[in-house]
Amino acid sequence: MKTVQEIRDAIARGEWRKLTAGLAPGFIQANLVILPKQHAFDFLLFCQRNEKACPIIDVCESGRVAPPLAGPKADVRVHVPRYRIYRKGELLDEPGSILEYFNDDMVSFFLGCSFTFEHDLMAHGIPVRHIELNRNVPMYITNRECRPAGIFSGPMVVTLRPIPENRVAEAAAITAKHRKAHGAPIHVGDPAALGITDTQKPDFGDPPEIRPGETPVFWACGVTPQTAVSRAKLDLVITHAPGYMFITDVPDTFEW
């Protein structure tokens, strides 16, 4: 079993350019958003106001490359296998390091993702269908607006997981404990209440397979802050590429 730092070092050397799911089991993986300091207060406030969609794991002060809690020895410029560079909301590049883009004016945000609670669901014997089927989770843009903050606004994006009806309560209780990984479901049942007309046509990811005796359960999704950032069309934004996450030093079991 490699340590988190050994995995990061391999990523920095270019030896791991693949998805990070399953790497460093037991440690939280994080979404990454890096943007100019002038917009950092607005974005931090947006995350604070929309905590279920944007749970903050850690933040680096401008120019800093090591998140003090999530990776005090890490370097945010080289420890993600694939980044995305956006200018004015347009995807410009998907590099394996951001040494040429990062500067002292940039602030890095590390946001929780659903890997953590999915592991816990499976540990309790609750099926997570898209993982069973080796697909991407279905994601939907909802009719619920986030609480805006400064220049940032947008709809809440959610994920759907079909859960056996007799285990919905347990799934809700298990995920509620993971408030830095989107927490409890925001909705159980009728997709129309969220403005979703056809669950078989997700806005992102693969369609769900909902079996007899299962209910669609919806959780807030980390694509929400990405959407808000994209709509703001900033001069420069750097994120991880979907599924190519930052691996933190924080254990799954950390008490926030």
CB of 15 to a copy of itself, least distance (A): 33
CB of 179 to a copy of itself, least distance (A): 9
CB of 256 to a copy of itself, least distance (A): 8
Residues 6+ apart with CB under 8 A from 233: 88, 89
CB of 40 to a copy of itself, least distance (A): 5
Please count the other Cβ atoms lying within 10 Å of the Cβ belonging to residue 79: 23
- Decide whether 45 or 174 has the Cβ nearer to a copy of itself: 45
The token pair at 254 is 């950390």
- Decide whether 151 or 241 has the Cβ nearer to a copy of itself: 151
The token pair at 210 is 């909902």
- Decide whether 48 or 143 has the Cβ nearer to a copy of itself: 48
- Decide whether 69 or 123 has the Cβ nearer to a copy of itself: 69
Round to whole Å and give the CA distance between 219 and 30.
Answer: 17
Asked if 159 and 206 count as a contact pair (C-beta separation under 8 A), the reply is: no
CB of 73 to a copy of itself, least distance (A): 17
Round to whole Å and give the CA distance between 248 and 70.
Answer: 5
- Decide whether 19 or 56 has the Cβ nearer to a copy of itself: 56
Q: Which residues bind a copy of itself (CB under 8 A)?
A: 37, 40-42, 44-45, 48-49, 51, 56, 59, 61, 68-69, 107, 147, 149-150, 256
Q: What is the DSSP letter of 134?
A: T
- Decide whether 10 or 56 has the Cβ nearer to a copy of itself: 56
- CB-based contacts of 95-103 (< 8 A; 24+ apart in sequence): 96/14, 96/17, 97/12, 98/34, 98/238, 101/236, 101/238, 102/34, 102/65, 102/76, 102/77, 102/238, 103/63
Give how far the C-alpha of residue 116 lies from the chain's centroid of Cα atoms, to the nearest Å: 10
CB of 65 to a copy of itself, least distance (A): 16
CB of 37 to a copy of itself, least distance (A): 7
Q: Which residues of 178-201 are buried (b: 16+ CB within 10 A; e: fewer)?
A: bebbbbbbbbbeebeebebeebee
- Decide whether 56 or 236 has the Cβ nearer to a copy of itself: 56
